[in-house]
Structure 1
Amino acid sequence: MRIVIAEDSFLVREGVRQVLDRQPDLEVVGVCGDLPGLLAAVDAAGPDVVVTDVRMPPTSTDEGIRAAVRLRRSHPGIGVVVLSQYAEPAYATPLLAEGSAGRAYLLKERVGEPGQLAGVVRSVAVGGSYIDPVVVEALVADAVQERRSPLAGLSRREGEVLAQIAQGKSNAAVGAALYLSERAVEKHINALFAKLGLTSEPDVNRRVKAVLLYLAAHPGAGTPGTGAAQG
């Protein structure tokens, strides 16, 4: 079984290589440290499985996930194991968006466990899948929180309008930022107020309550220049 390893940390890369090379049925046929190198190694070596870091140059953001998505379309027979130190739904969700077959998301801390990585590699090579239990817990918690959030019922545009309001912008400024007329902004605001259950009540500012709901769901957001905005 032929494997390409993509990892920008030399120590991690060599550790993964040694773990896999100890297996008599596994052969590492290429190593690289960035996304372009990974894609070139796939074309040159024709591996059965790619083991890739979630973050690599050139941007060190989500190269491993983008590689997995791209390979599903260009090389559907290649399995991909994404290694990460982050139990983040933001990475796992796009990895599995087009199906879990031949895909795995494994925390790097598992690499040192005897047989763990090798077993996952063998599984994705034949169309199986594996998601680290810690990541599964994070995915479930994220889904539960999303269902509970009153913001879940907002349309994409309503969410964008609310995000602009949370920055302290007037309706006119929101319209300028989103290329909407002020009247259109008012319609979106009234719609999101209704969806959030913010009816007209004496002494209650619906705009402020909507912003508080938004900030509760997005702790890092806020009006520019405030502590909330600076995170």
Structure 2
Amino acid sequence: MRIALADDGALFRNGLQMLLEAAGHEVVEAFDNGDDLVEAVHAEPVDVAILDIRMPPEPEGGLTTAGRLRASHPTLGILLLSHHAETRYLSRMLEIGPSRIGYRLKDQITSVAALHDTLTRIVAGEIVIDTRLTSKLVEYSQTRQDELRHELSGQELRVLRLMATGLSNAGIAEEMGVTRKAVEKHVSAVFTKLSLPDTSADNRRVLAVLRYLGS
């Protein structure tokens, strides 16, 4: 894959570049800020952009930069990195989504294999969320789950919870031990009960997850 990355920490940026190259990827550019990354991607398209969430040109410049990149390059893969597991970052990421995007913690990017797997899944169209963040998300959303129990059945709520972790319908089916058709039926029921109409302007999967997060 052709990759451009931006991280204002020189040590981490250089180490990440070495991991990427060891995995057989081509690092086209590496910057310490989002503005330069955007210009580079405009000039020379890449498969994936990797961004630190907390970097210039503003406190959470990685998220702003990711939004700019997705608006101009809808099929670009985006991997957001942070030292912090923050549910508000996840909400912002889902708004930027709804696919080909990931949020991983920096201390979990420790091997060539793990990094390559993350990038491969993102390019394939998945949403990849760090497992530590997923656990925190479940705890954070417990109150919202209690509210949704009045609207959704137990199976529908479980499907929505798994959707929030970034799993596809196929992944949910495997996790629950049911058929993909059964999952599709539950997903359709979730959309209906949460009053999420099928329109060309909105992605109902993302809207459902945002409702689950209370955003």
What SS does structure 2 have at the residue aligned with 1:97? helix
Kept after mapping to 2: 8 A contact 1:104/1:124: yes
CA RMSD of aligned residues (A): 1.7
Aligned to 2:54: 55
Question: Which residue of structure 1 aligns with residue 129 of structure 2?
Answer: 131
1:66-215 matches, cutoff 5 A:
66-146=64-144
Cα offset for 1:40? 1.0
Counterpart CA distance in 2 for 1:141 and 1:84 is 20
Equivalents in 2 of 1:131, 1:29: separation in Å? 25
Structure 1 unaligned blocks of 5 or more: 150-231
Runs of 4+ in 1 over 4 A off after TM superposition: 146-149
Indicate whether 1:9 and 2:9 are aligned.
yes
Which has the higher Rg, Structure 1 or Structure 2? 1
| SS class of match (2:92) | helix
Of 87-96 and 134-143, more deviation after overlay is shown by: 134-143
What SS does the aligned partner of 1:47 have?
coil
TM-score, length-normalised on structure 2?
0.64
CA contact (8 A) 1:6 1:34 kept: yes
Matched, 1:32 2:31: yes
- Normalising to structure 1: TM-score of the pair? 0.60
**Residue-by-residue CA offset, 1:51-103 (whole Å, 9 max, x unaligned):** 110111122x2211122222222101100000111100011111012544100
Alpha-carbon spacing, 1:91–1:2, altered in 2? closer, same or farther (3 Å)? same
Distance across 1 between alignment mates of 2:82 and 2:115: 13
Secondary structure class of the residue paired with 1:5:
strand
Question: Shift in Å at residue 2 of structure 1?
Answer: 0.5
Contact persistence 2:22–2:112 (CA under 8 A): no
Letter in 2 for 1:109: D
Question: 5+ residue gaps in structure 2?
Answer: 148-215
Size of the aligned set, in residue pairs, is 147
Q: Whose RCO is larger (CA < 8 A, sep 6+)?
A: 2
